[in-house]
Amino acid sequence: MDQAAPLPSRRGVLVGAALTAVPYVLLPGTRAAARPQAPDHPGAEWHPATGANYTASNRPRGHPVDRVIIHVAQTTFAGTLSIFRNPRKQVSAHYVVRSADGHVAQSVREADIAWHAGNWDYNRRGIGIEHEGWVDQPSYFTDAVYEESARLTAAICARHGIPRNRTHIIGHHEVPGSDHTDPGRHWDWKRYMRLVRDSA
């Protein structure tokens, strides 16, 4: 993960645009925060990030989504979710995958812009998936992680019409300007992409 919060002025403009584009927020007594907070991914468990750690949007209407960005969290599953709830951290991702069993948590709606890429353009066009573990500890990259994360990525690609290739499914280290190395050299891209392509 990475700070990657937009500049305050830019963020204000985008939040304002998102609010005016959503008719039901204009209804009396209805607030943007009251929008339904069900996971986008079937089977994902909803663990919301604080609203201070992402930018509300109405993607893909507000901006097309055409990248899935793969991360390794450099901490545990629970630690990652706790960071996303902490407004001082200024980071988030849409999803977090647990090492032991591939369990998927969703923290930010796909319509909204999570802050994970360290690059505002890639945050705005991307869906971020964090994986529990550390880049130098490949034992965290279990069969379950590869299988469930690939299923998640394939479903994201289907929802947004994203091609299932390495141009559109990238590592954090491939984001322009990124100084991060994740998911690192132990992440098996060949295996991952085969699973993504084979996923229904």
Residues that bind Zn ion (CB under 5 A): 71, 172, 180, 182
> Can you give the three-state secondary structure of 98-122, one letter per residue?
CCCCCCEEECCCCCCEECCCCCHHH
71 in Cβ contact with 128 (< 8 Å): yes
Residue closer to Zn ion, measured from CB, 71 or 98: 71
Shortest Cβ 114–Zn ion spacing (Å): 11
Shortest Cβ 78–Zn ion spacing (Å): 18
Residue closer to Zn ion, measured from CB, 131 or 151: 131
Judge residue 25's burial from the number of C-beta atoms within 10 Å of its C-beta, 0-12 exposed, 13-18 middle, 19 or more buried. Answer: middle
Structure tokens at 53: 């750690």
Positive or negative: CA dihedral 62, 63, 69, 72: negative
Residue closer to Zn ion, measured from CB, 148 or 182: 182
Residue closer to Zn ion, measured from CB, 69 or 154: 69
Shortest Cβ 22–Zn ion spacing (Å): 29
Shortest Cβ 89–Zn ion spacing (Å): 13
Sheet holding 67-72, edge to edge: 45-46, 104-106, 95-97, 126-131, 67-72, 169-171
